[in-house]
Chains A and B, each alone.
Chain A
Amino acid sequence: MGFLLPAVAMLFAPPGVTFAQVIERMGAMLTDPYDLGIIWRTVRIGLVVTAVCVVLGFPIASLLARSQSRWAGVLLALAIFPLLLSNVVRTFGWLVVLGSNGVIGQLLTGLGLVEKAPQLLYTELAIVLGLVQLFLPLAVITCYSAVAQVDPGLDEAARGLGASRTRSFWTILVPLSLPGVVVAATLVFAGSVTAYTTPYLLGGSGQRMLSTQLFSYASVTVDWAAASATAIVMTVLVFLVSGISALVGRKGATS
């Protein structure tokens, strides 16, 4: 949405607030421990979700792209289908799984493993699980395209020359599909640090991220300077990571 950049520029001049006030609020935000905590939590969750999505998504993509099985098409469709499904519906599933009367709590207490169901909902773990569910399909299809472009003959040649399956995976498949993996990681990170539904439903008020904080400034406290400042921080974070990954991708392509 490059053509929406003018709209972003307008964030510096919200209604009834001066440019200087936005900048001042942004300065305050970058020195305040509470606000910094929210920024750090957002970045930390984004990094963890990205790592998990790549670690789970790449094997799925490589198994499916290299399989001759009839089932591979079905499994690929099963991985893509969640992308069509509302994020609210998908995230709601975790309330059923992690809630106090939920699946995991009932299972643990039912088996007599614990006295009282552990607090799983409204934790960082819940947000991470919810975001992994949301963005794993994106990681799978992006990695799938990357793996599918690697000539299977190269794997076979490596295997024919005596490399183990593990060795050909790490020395052929991974390096050659790395640019695609970088794209996947960037998309997942950008999605995770800007997602709203998941931290709102699974994080509650104790686990604020930039997105939920932005909503509360804009809609609850109606503090335009703070809302704009938060939005600018979020946008800069996404642009910064996209920029770095574009550089990494270019370097990977030339070396």
Chain B
Amino acid sequence: MNQGLRLGRPVAGTLAVAGYVIMIVPILFVVATAFTAGSTLRFPPEGLSLRWFGEALAYSPFMEAVVSSLELAVLATALALVLGVPVTLAIHRGRVPGKGLLEGLFLSPLVVPELVVGLALYQQLMIGLHLDNFTTLLLGHTALLLPYAVRVTGASLALADPALEEAARGLGASPLRAFLTVTLPMLRPGLISAGLLGFVTSFNNVPLSLLLQTRDFRTLPVTMLDYVQQSYDPMVAAASTLVLAATVVVAVVAERTVGFAKIFGGINR
């Protein structure tokens, strides 16, 4: 395709093409089958129609789950930011005791499998303490997003000069005023990044949410998963295509605000 990318590196180029095929091509086939007029997941599709999009939008379990997932993702992201920003400030700016412990808790690479966390929350909170599943999901998702919030806002705070806040204080600003007028604007890119990353992570989550579903409150990915297992028709392809379209919108918003690669890849280009 391009001299700089391909020529002279036949082995690397071939492997790279294979990688892109595996990453992207199955997604394209989902879109192609969503427009079928037939009633099976057959390829090539039997005729063109928008029928399955209509069915997906009229299927109430999906629509209720979209609302539930949005509600959960927005609340969990907001909570994670509200709790995460003070932790970030304590780690980067504070002279608080136990700073090492905070860093260890929030920035350690130790990863507990999400499915396992879901099981523990189910056993202890829903069965043990009789919490309802929305509260349990909200707690779980907030806990899941908190390290992202601390890490991503921390990265933008690390770039900001602490002398600016000191200057504001030296010129007579109260601590609150210094925070609101100096620190918070510097945190803005970090807050946007952490917010978008958190929202997407929560909205798409399966393993943590899986065991925490009830008939009254179900999230979209788990509802779709159940549907696929039961019936093999193109409605999920249509629903998937709609999710894909929404994801593209999120990606464009991310690119316009802070930069797509920076937010989701952690890459400063």
Which of B24, B112, B144, B267 has most chain A Cβ within 10 Å?
B112
Could you tell me the distance between the alpha carbons of A190 and B112 in the complex, rounded to whole angstroms? Answer: 9
Asked if A92 contacts B240 (CB within 8 A), the reply is yes
Taking a contact as CB atoms closer than 8 A, the residue among B23, B32, B109, B240 that contacts A136 in the complex is: B23
For chain A, give the interface size range.
35 or more
Nearest A residue to B24 via CB reads: A78
Closest beta carbon of chain A to B42's beta carbon, Å: 4
Nearest B residue to A69 via CB reads: B4
Asked if A1 contacts B143 (CB within 8 A), the reply is yes
Asked if B115 contacts A196 (CB within 8 A), the reply is yes
Asked if B221 contacts A234 (CB within 8 A), the reply is no
Question: Which residues 61-82 in A have Cβ within 8 Å of B in the complex?
Answer: 62-63, 67-69, 71-73, 75-82
Asked if B206 contacts A197 (CB within 8 A), the reply is yes
Asked if A68 contacts B4 (CB within 8 A), the reply is yes
A interface, over-half SS: helix
* Chain B residue contacts of A111, Cβ below 8 A: none
Asked if B26 contacts A201 (CB within 8 A), the reply is no
Taking a contact as CB atoms closer than 8 A, the residue among A59, A195, A239, A242 that contacts B19 in the complex is: A59
Asked if A63 contacts B25 (CB within 8 A), the reply is no
Asked if B116 contacts A129 (CB within 8 A), the reply is no
* Chain B residue contacts of A7, Cβ below 8 A: 112, 117, 120-121, 124
Taking a contact as CB atoms closer than 8 A, the residue among B29, B105, B200, B261 that contacts A96 in the complex is: B29
B61 at the interface (CB under 8 A from A): no
Taking a contact as CB atoms closer than 8 A, the residue among B1, B32, B33, B116 that contacts A231 in the complex is: B116
Q: Can you list, as one digit per residue, whether each of B106-139 has a CB less than 8 Å from chain A (1) or not (0)?
A: 1011111111110111111001100000000000
Closest beta carbon of chain A to B127's beta carbon, Å: 5
B40 at the interface (CB under 8 A from A): yes
Nearest A residue to B211 via CB reads: A218
* Chain B residue contacts of A85, Cβ below 8 A: 27, 204, 243-244, 247
Could you tell me the distance between the alpha carbons of A250 and B144 in the complex, rounded to whole angstroms? Answer: 27
Asked if A194 contacts B113 (CB within 8 A), the reply is yes
A133 at the interface (CB under 8 A from B): yes
Given contacts A59-B12, A218-B122, whether A4 and B117 have CB atoms under 8 Å apart is yes
A214 at the interface (CB under 8 A from B): yes
B2 at the interface (CB under 8 A from A): yes
Residues of chain A whose beta carbon lies under 8 Å from any beta carbon of chain B = 1-5, 7-8, 10-11, 14-15, 55-57, 59-60, 62-63, 67-69, 71-73, 75-90, 92-97, 99, 101-103, 106, 129, 132-133, 136-137, 140-141, 144-145, 148, 165, 169, 190, 194-197, 200-201, 211, 214-215, 218-219, 224, 227-228, 231, 234-235, 238-239, 242, 246
Residues of chain B whose beta carbon lies under 8 Å from any beta carbon of chain A = 1-5, 8-9, 11-13, 15-16, 18-20, 22-30, 32-33, 40-44, 104-106, 108-117, 119-124, 127-128, 143-144, 146-147, 200, 203-204, 206-207, 210-211, 221, 224-225, 228-229, 232, 236-237, 240, 243-244, 247, 250-251, 255, 260-261, 264-267, 269
Q: A2-B105, A86-B221, A218-B211 are in contact. List 20 more A-B contacts (CB 8 A).
A: A1-B112, A3-B106, A3-B143, A15-B127, A56-B22, A60-B19, A71-B2, A71-B5, A75-B5, A77-B261, A78-B20, A78-B24, A82-B27, A96-B33, A133-B26, A145-B267, A197-B206, A201-B228, A214-B119, A231-B115
What are the 6 tightest A-B residue pairs by CB atom distance, in nearest-first order?
Answer: A93-B26, A56-B19, A194-B113, A59-B12, A7-B120, A89-B240
